[in-house]
Structure 1
Amino acid sequence: MVDFEWYRSFCMIYKHNSVSEAAKARIMTQPAMSQHLASLEAEVGEVLFVRTSRKMFPTERGKELYSQLAPLIESLEETTMSFRAASLPTLTVIKIGAAHEFYTEKILPQLHKFNMSTITNLGTADQLVELLKEDKLDLIITSKRYQAQGIEYLKLMDEEFVIVAPSDCEIPDTDYLESLERWLSSQNWISYGLELPIIRRIWREHFKKRPQIRPIHIIPDLHLILKAIENGAGLSVIPTYLLRNSANEKTKVICEDLKVKNELYLAYKLKHKHLPQIHEMMTVIRENV
């Protein structure tokens, strides 16, 4: 007879493509998680994942089984949440964390829709996850998934980054990536940090190399970077949602093929998974990003 916990473990492995990551998410040992999968595969009579040195990929039977199980397990967990809601502690105040720019553009306009009070902490992904681990935050929006026991991540959205320049910037007419890379490297760049976040991603994904850039200005605020570009200080990389909300004639997107995407996640403690206030806040955020 199949144990329901085998199904839960299977779905978690499917989401994480890893037994070890799934075990951390379920707060289980890796051997126990592996045993759940082995038992389910024995019951099904087929291999459900192809194992590689780094990841596990579902077989066609694994994909079919997940498509059948995922909605059923979600429904059961929602039912469990409704049963437990009455006995769970009530959070009259939700402590939420996000990057300053994302909070300003995406969450602040929705505050009136929250049926609860909030305490906000703005910071980097590293800072926010530490506060979450210490129970100083209940819910965070982060671009990084850390290997931390007892924390669950749900994908929120893809944010798209593009190269933005002053409107009078003249771009060379060339189809050669090498020529374009040389021209971009010769420009004045404004960066969020010394490590060239996102700028480095663009170089690695499109030019297959590290950027040879020394930024002329370091400004750890995307709104201020956009203002600096408007004033002709240089080029930078900006998320498209910020441009949509700050449309003006002083800047323009250049080299549109060189865009990159970044995944954003909602993260919370597993022990708070069934709190209705957490789910209510996540629902409002997800409906309005």
Structure 2
Amino acid sequence: MINLEWFRTFKVIYEAGTLSAAAKDLFISQPGVSLHLSSLESFAGHRLFDRDTRKMVATERGTMLYNFIIDHMNKLEEAEHIFRRKSKAEKPTVSVGMSMEIFQHVLEAHITDLPFNLVTRFGDCPQMLQDLNNGTLDLILTTLKGTQHNLDYRPFNTEKIILICGNQTDTREFEELLSQDNRPALREWLNNQVWYTTAYDMEYLKNFWSASFEALPSFRPKYVVPSFASILRCMSNSKGFAVVPDFLCGKELAEKGIKLAWDGSPAVENTLYFAKRKNTAYPDEIKYLEDILNKNWPVDEQVLSLLD
């Protein structure tokens, strides 16, 4: 019967290039590596590497085997990492998913003080929910609630979606149309402006537009940048419009590099949830992170006064 360790050894030899390097990576002796390889070659009935004094060069059969097993081996190694029993002396590692902006504004300054290891991933809510459900994430911050029965959601804050513009933007006509509540004219005027959005998520713009005009945006943003922070930097002391969460804008509004154009009507608010698995292995660590996020969530009086 084939030994799955032969495949692991084969994979490491293929990637390391020599028997000695593979032995070092696997923490076994070089004769042990040679034995695994010769056993696998005997099982396969073909030579998998051409040997020379400097490097192990995969044969055509060896390359075919590597390409066939690599995805499966990576999955098994990921499962090994996730499910192996941790020693009491080892710090636990908690994997968290959230937006890049929340990480930068709320959590980044505190990670060096955490009493456990942290792995952070950025992504959209559907993908993070899937990763939470399959065990590769332990906690996420999401505005979307999924249908998975093993996930627990707890609301912790809200974000309001607002329309901002650079302080060099001439908004006199816009303000006149807004005072008249002329929605068709407002929509047409905004369609002809310079727009910024993020590369990974246009849902904020779509939701704001749908609430205000009962339609999806009919324009293509001129500038698509990596993050909301990039939008704020690019728009500051310039022209253009963007739809962003309110908690990100306090500093820029206070410094008057941007200005609030409209808080929408009806207002668009998202509830942010802590989501975790009901049978999480890290309840104390997750509670620690939730407390940090609750305590340090930005409440900016500048934004609140403009929205009132």
1:57 equivalent in structure 2:
none
Matched, 1:278 2:286: yes
> Alignment partner of 2:289: what SS?
helix
> Alignment partner of 2:128: what SS?
helix
CA 1:188–1:269: 2 relative to 1, 3 Å = same
1:237 equivalent in structure 2:
243
> Which AA in structure 2 matches 1:266?
F
Alpha-carbon distance between aligned partners in 2 of 1:245 and 1:92, rounded to the nearest angstrom? 36
> Which AA in structure 2 matches 1:185?
N
2:26 equivalent in structure 1:
none
Matched, 1:92 2:99: no
The answer to whether the Cα contact below 8 Å between 1:151 and 1:268 also exists between their aligned partners in 2 is yes
CA 1:187–1:100: 2 relative to 1, 3 Å = same
Gaps of 5+ in 2: 1-87, 298-308
Offset, 1:202:
1.5
- TM-score, normalization by structure 2: 0.59
Question: Which of 186, 191, 200 matches 2:197?
Answer: 191
Alpha-carbon distance between aligned partners in 1 of 2:208 and 2:115, rounded to the nearest angstrom? 40
> Which AA in structure 1 matches 2:94?
I
The answer to whether the Cα contact below 8 Å between 1:190 and 1:218 also exists between their aligned partners in 2 is yes
Question: Which of 204, 217, 242 matches 1:211?
Answer: 217
> Which AA in structure 1 matches 2:261?
I
Q: How many residues align?
A: 202
CA 1:118–1:273: 2 relative to 1, 3 Å = closer
- TM-score, normalization by structure 1: 0.63
Residues 158-178 of structure 1: CA deviation (Å, up to 9, x unaligned): 111211111021121222222
> Which AA in structure 2 matches 1:261?
E
CA 1:236–1:194: 2 relative to 1, 3 Å = same
Residues 222-266 of structure 1: CA deviation (Å, up to 9, x unaligned): 111112212636211111111114443321110234442112111
The alignment-based identity, stated in percent, is 20
Offset, 1:132:
1.4
Which of these two proteins has the greater Rg computed from alpha carbons?
Answer: 2
The answer to whether the Cα contact below 8 Å between 1:113 and 1:284 also exists between their aligned partners in 2 is no
Residues 96-144 of structure 1: CA deviation (Å, up to 9, x unaligned): 1111111111111333553333121222223322221221111111121
1:227 equivalent in structure 2:
233
2:274 equivalent in structure 1:
266
Alpha-carbon distance between aligned partners in 2 of 1:193 and 1:216, rounded to the nearest angstrom? 12
